[in-house]
Amino acid sequence: MAGLSDEAGSGPSGGEKEEVFRLKGVVKWFDPSKGYGFIVAAGGEGDILIHSTCLREAGHATAREGATIECDVVRRPKGLQALKLIHIDESTATARQPPPTQTPAGDFVRAAVKWFNRGRGFGFLTRGENTDDIFIHMETLRRCGMGELVPGQRVQVSFASSVKGLLAIEVRPDPEN
């Protein structure tokens, strides 16, 4: 629905009006601790940045991955940004999985981030050569108050054995970093 009335006010250069248009998409990820996330536009227009203020104005605290969102959008120099949430359909959101059957593996141990892909929502930790990698999910990071991991970063991790391998249960910054 391109060409909606301009509700955005002045554009980036002060006097220009920004074109506001309506798009639908699916939540790629949203991090409440950072206060923003991204929606993948259904028509291939690119990712749409969505701030927590946009969600709060519509009465929502967060947006679950996979939820379908319809919003008014504006194109800014850094890309698309949601201005107003029109509708959110939580029925399409990723189902919250119960934790897999786990066998505790012990106390916190030091590990390093092997790799982590925020867009995919997971990564792996390593305790060193000839050890099994430890899977870590974005939800575990969020639950433990951490928002981002970078390769080589040292962390303390408590993990368990699951049917798919080792799984991070809790993670915290390594005090010796």
How many C-beta atoms lie closer than 10 Å to residue 19's C-beta? 14
20-93: CATH number: 2.40.50.140
Query: How far is CA 4 from its chain centroid?
Result: 29
Q: pLDDT tens digits, residue range 125-144?
A: 999 999 999 999 888 888 78
Query: How far is CA 72 from its chain centroid?
Result: 21
Q: What Cα–Cα distance (Å) separates residue 132 from each residue in 106, 153, 167?
A: 15, 18, 10
pLDDT at residue 157, rounded to an integer: 93
pTM reported for the whole predicted model = 0.51
**Domain span(s) for CATH 2.40.50.140 in the chain:** 20-93, 109-173
Q: Is the pLDDT of residue 1 over 50?
A: no
How many C-beta atoms lie closer than 10 Å to residue 133's C-beta? 15
Nearest to 121 by CA among 94, 92, 81: 94
> 109-173, what's its fold?
OB fold (Dihydrolipoamide Acetyltransferase, E2P) (2.40.50)
136 or 96, greater pLDDT: 136
